[in-house]
Amino acid sequence: MSAFTNIYNLIFKRNSTYVASVFAGAFAFQAFFDAGVTSWYEAHNRGKLWKDIKGKIGGGDEDEEDDDE
């Protein structure tokens, strides 16, 4: 049996496993996608963001508790 047959038997054959893996995949994808886009966005704007200039201010603020703003 080829790998394709295995994948078919494992996931696609039953609707329950198929739908379950689509929804599980949606959750995994969202986390992965968020992280990916954020890291690209921050790399694209490097040097302009608050986290880039934060360290340069007044010798760096000691313990900056992350506020929920």
Partner 1 sequence: MFNSFRSASKRAINSKLVTGAVATSALTASYVLYQDSQVAEAMTAAEHGLHPPEYGWSHNGMFDTFDHASIRRGFQVYREVCAACHSLDRVAWRNLVGVSHTTSEAKEMAEEFEYDDEPDDQGNPKKRPGKLADYIPGPYANEQAARAANQGALPPDLSLIVKARHGACDYIFSLLTGYPDEPPAGVQLPPGTNYNPYFPGGAIAMGRVLFDGLVEYEDGTEATTSQMAKDVTTFLNWAAEPEHDERKKMGLKAIIITSSLYLLAVWVKKFKWQPIKNRKIVWTPPRK
Partner 2 sequence: MLRSLARNSVGLKSLGQARTLSSSVTALKSNYDSPDFSHYLKKDRNADKTRDFTYFMVGSFGLLSAAGAKSTVESFLSTMSASADVLAMAKVEVKLANIPEGKNVIVKWQGKPVFIRHRTQAEIEEANDIDISTLRDPQKDADRVKNPEWLIMLGICTHLGCVPIGEAGDFGGWFCPCHGSHYDISGRIRRGPAPLNLEIPEYDFADPDTLVVG
Candidates 8-16, 20-28, 40-48; binding stretch for partner 1 (CB under 8 A): 40-48
Which option in partner 1, partner 2, none does residue 32 bind, with CB closer than 5 to 8 A by kind? none
Neighbours of 7 (CB within 10 A): 11
Which option in partner 2, partner 1, none does residue 59 bind, with CB closer than 5 to 8 A by kind? none
The rounded distance, in Å, linking the Cα atoms of 11 and 8 is 6
Q: Which is nearer to partner 2, 13 or 54 (CB)?
A: 13
Neighbours of 62 (CB within 10 A): 5
Residue 41 interacting with partner 2 (CB under 8 A): no
Q: Which is nearer to partner 1, 9 or 30 (CB)?
A: 30
The rounded distance, in Å, linking the Cα atoms of 48 and 4 is 47
